[in-house]
């Protein structure tokens, strides 16, 4: 039986999507770092990783960063296509804000058929990126080219084009929106604060980001 069509719980989806995004950017994080990103305790992360391991979606070994298996990546790509197309539909067709569509889509995506999703894709003109700058896989699972790095890798004082923001963190989206930092905007990484926070600036407006939260932002360095 093909595992890529098995039912996926909302909580499992969050882990698969996050691991896929991190791995796509060359990032590997452990359970404690995932716990900070999700805002939960480490045992909760460990329990979920073990369940995903049992379904052959994640390779999990104690004290090592979890990795998606081939089956896990297929499931993640299918989920990503569905999620990002629906987010794009809500923003560009129904007028939702970029920091409110993630929760709405989590409700919708479990009831949308593949047939309806293809209609939505066609009506939208088969977009390559969603409102958060995330690439949308095509029907064959292929992603458009995107050359980005995590914000944490941008050198201090360096400028870049904001490329992608993880839609799961609504607070982060709201903070970025308040300073006008949307995909396509030129941003600058300022010198780190004494406690190690990353300072992101758009013109004379700035926000302070924990390093783990900064992993949820990708940029295209200028030059």
Distance CA 128, CA 189 (A): 27
Q: Which residues, other chains included, contact 95 with Cβ-Cβ below 8 Å and sequence gap of 6+?
A: none
Question: 149-221: CATH homologous superfamily?
Answer: Ferrous iron transport protein A (FeoA) (2.30.30.90)
Name the stretches of the chain with pLDDT < 50: 1-4
pLDDT score of 223: 60
Query: Which pTM does this prediction carry?
Result: 0.69
Task: Name the residue ranges covered by the structural domains of the chain.
Answer: 1-145, 149-221
The answer to whether 221 touches 186, Cβ cutoff 8 Å, is no
Nearest to 76, CA basis, from 22, 150, 130, 151: 22
Q: What angle do CA 106, 107, 110 make, to 5 degrees?
A: 85
Q: CATH 1.10.10.10: does it fit domain 1-145?
A: yes
The answer to whether 85 touches 120, Cβ cutoff 8 Å, is yes
Give CA 138 to chain center in angstroms.
17
pLDDT tens digits, 89-148: 999 999 999 999 988 988 888 788 889 999 999 999 999 999 999 889 998 888 887 778
Task: Return the SS3 of 205.
Answer: strand
The answer to whether 138 touches 145, Cβ cutoff 8 Å, is no
The answer to whether 54 touches 40, Cβ cutoff 8 Å, is no
């Amino acid at each position: 039986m093909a595992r890529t069509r098995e039912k996926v719980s909302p909580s499992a989806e969050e882990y698969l999507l996050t691991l896929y995004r991190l791995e796509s950017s060359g990032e590997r994080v452990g359970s404690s770092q995932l716990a900070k990103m999700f805002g939960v305790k480490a045992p909760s992360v460990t329990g979920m990783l073990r369940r995903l391991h049992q379904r052959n979606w994640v390779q999990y070994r104690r004290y090592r960063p979890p990795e998606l298996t081939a089956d896990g990546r297929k499931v993640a790509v299918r989920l990503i296509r569905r999620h990002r197309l629906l987010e794009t539909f809500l923003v560009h067709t129904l007028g939702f804000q970029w920091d409110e569509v993630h929760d709405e889509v989590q409700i919708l995506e479990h009831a949308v058929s593949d047939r309806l999703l293809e209609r939505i894709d066609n009506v939208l003109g088969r977009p390559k990126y969603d409102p958060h700058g995330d690439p949308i896989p095509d029907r064959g699972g292929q992603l458009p080219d995107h050359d980005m790095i995590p914000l944490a890798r941008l050198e201090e004082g360096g400028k870049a084009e904001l490329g992608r923001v993880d839609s799961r963190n609504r607070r982060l989206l709201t903070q970025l929106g308040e300073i006008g930092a949307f995909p396509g905007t030129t941003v600058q990484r300022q010198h780190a604060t004494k406690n190690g926070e990353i300072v992101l600036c758009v013109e004379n407006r700035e926000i302070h980001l924990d390093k783990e939260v900064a992993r949820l932002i990708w940029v295209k360095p200028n030059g």
